[in-house]
Amino acid sequence: MNESTRKTAVVSNDELEKQRRFMHKVSAVITAGYSEKPKACVITYGCQQNVADSEKIKGMLELMGYDFTDNRLEAKLIIFNTCAVREHAEDRVFGNVGSLKSYKRENPDIIIALCGCMMQQKHIADKIKRSYPFVDLVFGTHVIHCLPELLYRALTGRKRIFEIPDMDGAIAEGVPVKRDNDKKAWLPIMYGCNNFCSYCIVPYVRGRERSREKADIINEFKELVSQGYKEITLLGQNVNSYGKDLIPQVSFSQLLRELNSLDGDFRIRFMTSHPKDCTKELIETMASCDKVAQHLHLPFQSGSNRVLKAMNRHYTREQYLELINYAKELMGDELSITSDIIVGFPGETYDEFRETLSLVEEVKATSLFTFIYSPRKGTPAAEMDDPVSSEEKSRWFKELTDLQEKISAQQMALHKGKTFKCYVYGKGRLADNYVAARNDGNLIIEFEGDESLIGTFQNIKVIEPLTFVMRGEIVKEKNYEY
């Protein structure tokens, strides 16, 4: 990494070296007097970015000598990596942490730690300090790479530790990663968000947009391919603005094209795209790159231009549709669209909500991620008048999910007879001699086939769309040729 080629702050090699020294110190403390490795339990809430962060946490813990368990009641170290995007996720964290109170009383030497987006909010950290005295360590999103040092202090000191620096964030390269899956990998290409959509807490808790160097991404990508990873998802809150902070600038399309040209048998996915920064060039790049999944996750949030403005989204319904239609024109049947929608934004009327329904009808997404608006302290929307009752919002929500269910079924039915490039990921459920595969749009197609096909790409023709999966047949008995 060359620190002079970027505007964004980078964690220094000295700091990373210091953390490596703390790894050895932690290792000495946790293994002293024990014949078995102590177990750690890492519980992750929220988005893929958090999953990727937890994989780094586990990577560091593994090097420090921890083993892993899913059972928190047999762990010496319990870490909750939290999500702040909606209230529901926060409530679950408080409930689950609260339930450990007596476990900690009976086992005072275990360490309970909390990290992630929730902890980056002052009122939440204060609540933990006040009402959850059995939590030993709290650390924010910007200091994950400091876990060895923080853990050492928690293990050897008597004081509770709250390490939540308020900063724009920096890039830490070279942190070890222990991946949850040996075929599908998450690869963060950038961190943070500059968009400040009026309902969203992410820019406040994840700092400003900062891109990893292209060379670092390519090296990690090549390593993943050489390790046999088949589906690699590039992650960022807004991947379309990747590289704007690098000197010289690099565009996301450029990065995609370079990754696409690497040797190997793999599929590239990416998320999330923002319609205001999604360019026709990106759509053309997707269409022309054979290893890039023809899947566009492009959240529109609302179909009403007034609401979009109040959300601070910087595009109109018409501009959104122009992008979608261009993508459909270029990628045709191959293209799968998914999107995020918020129902019941403050001040949204039923008529405005119906504009969302009509956009849903026009877009014809494979599937949607739908949410009822959740006020987030500190965001502009939380200060707006919100006269519609939650019962009413729930009725609208049901109307939306019913509509999408109908559209998803229609979309599935249209797939009959089509052939998709699919990654065979495991055993099927329809019958003993079936295996299961996913197409670019993440739809599951099961077909009669030998388990030796697992881990390969195949052409599968859809015979019969069922409710959640499709039944298909293999078109040619050899690996997909790119």
Binding site for ligand SF4 (CB under 6 A): 193, 195-197, 200, 202-203, 237-238, 274
Of ligand SF4, ligand 5AD, none, which one sits near residue 62, judging by CB under 5 to 8 A according to partner kind? none
CB of 237 to ligand 5AD, least distance (A): 9
Sketch the per residue contact string, 346 through 385, with ligand 5AD: x for CB under 6 A, - otherwise.
Answer: -------------------------x-xx-x---------
Of ligand SF4, ligand 5AD, none, which one sits near residue 373, judging by CB under 5 to 8 A according to partner kind? ligand 5AD
CB of 238 to ligand 5AD, least distance (A): 10
Length of the chain: 482
Instruction: Specify the residue for token string 């329809």.
Output: 430
Sketch the per residue contact string, 161 through 200, with ligand 5AD: x for CB under 6 A, - otherwise.
Answer: --------------------------------------xx
Of ligand SF4, ligand 5AD, none, which one sits near residue 38, judging by CB under 5 to 8 A according to partner kind? none
Among residues 299 and 449, whose Cβ is nearest to ligand SF4? 299
Please give the structure tokens belonging to residue 270: 């990416």
Residue 286: name the closest of 237, 234, 247, 250 by CA: 234
CB of 47 to ligand SF4, least distance (A): 9
Residue 169: name the closest of 197, 149, 147, 194 by CA: 194
Among residues 189 and 250, whose Cβ is nearest to ligand 5AD? 189
Rounded-to-integer distance, Cα 111 and Cα 66, Å: 13
User: Could you say whether residue 86 binds ligand 5AD (CB under 6 A)?
Assistant: yes
HEC-encoded secondary structure of the chain: CCHHHECCCECCHHHHHHHHHHHHHHHHHHHCCCCCCCEEEEEECCCHHHHHHHHHHHHHHHHHCCEECCCHHHCCEEEEEECCCCHHHHHHHHHHHHCCHHHHHHCCCCEEEEEEHHHHCHHHHHHHHHHCCCCCEEECHHHHHHHHHHHHHHHHCCCCEEECCCCCCCECCCCCCCCCCCCEEEEECEECCCCCCCCCCHHHHHCCCEECCHHHHHHHHHHHHHCCCCEEEEECCCHHHCCCCECCCCCHHHHHHHHHCCCCCCEEEEECCCCCCCCHHHHHHHHHCCCECCEEECCCECCCHHHHHHCCCCCCHHHHHHHHHHHHHHHHHHCEEEEEEEECCCCCCHHHHHHHHHHHHHHCCCEEEEEECCCCCCCHHHHCCCCCCHHHHHHHHHHHHHHHHHHHHHHHHHCCCCEEEEEEEEECCCCCCEEEEECCCCCEEEEECCHHHCCCEEEEEEEEECCCCEEEEECCCCCCCC
Binding-site member from 44, 301, 336, 411 for ligand 5AD (CB under 6 A): 301
Please give the structure tokens belonging to residue 48: 């893929």
Question: How many residues at the interface with ligand 5AD, by CB under 6 A?
Answer: 12
Among residues 19 and 50, whose Cβ is nearest to ligand 5AD? 50
Of ligand SF4, ligand 5AD, none, which one sits near residue 260, judging by CB under 5 to 8 A according to partner kind? none
Of ligand SF4, ligand 5AD, none, which one sits near residue 371, judging by CB under 5 to 8 A according to partner kind? ligand 5AD
User: Could you say whether residue 393 binds ligand 5AD (CB under 6 A)?
Assistant: no
CB of 87 to ligand SF4, least distance (A): 15
CB of 36 to ligand SF4, least distance (A): 42
Residue 258 near residue 285, CB atoms below 8 Å: no
Rounded-to-integer distance, Cα 146 and Cα 379, Å: 28
User: Could you say whether residue 447 binds ligand 5AD (CB under 6 A)?
Assistant: no
Of ligand SF4, ligand 5AD, none, which one sits near residue 145, judging by CB under 5 to 8 A according to partner kind? none
Instruction: Specify the residue for token string 């048998």.
Output: 265
Of ligand 5AD, ligand SF4, none, which one sits near residue 482, judging by CB under 5 to 8 A according to partner kind? none
User: Could you say whether residue 236 binds ligand 5AD (CB under 6 A)?
Assistant: no
Among residues 148 and 207, whose Cβ is nearest to ligand SF4? 207
User: Could you say whether residue 401 binds ligand 5AD (CB under 6 A)?
Assistant: no
Sketch the per residue contact string, 247 through 286, with ligand 5AD: x for CB under 6 A, - otherwise.
Answer: ----------------------------------------
* Closest residue to ligand 5AD in the complex (CB): 340
Q: What angle do CA 179, 53, 262 make, to 5 degrees?
A: 55
CB of 344 to ligand 5AD, least distance (A): 9
Rounded-to-integer distance, Cα 191 and Cα 52, Å: 11
CB of 199 to ligand SF4, least distance (A): 7
Please give the structure tokens belonging to residue 56: 């780094």
Among residues 120 and 458, whose Cβ is nearest to ligand SF4? 120
CB of 305 to ligand 5AD, least distance (A): 17
Among residues 312 and 401, whose Cβ is nearest to ligand SF4? 312
Among residues 366 and 439, whose Cβ is nearest to ligand 5AD? 366
CB of 202 to ligand 5AD, least distance (A): 7
Could you list the residues that contact ligand 5AD (CB under 6 A)?
85-86, 199-200, 299, 301, 340, 342, 371, 373-374, 376
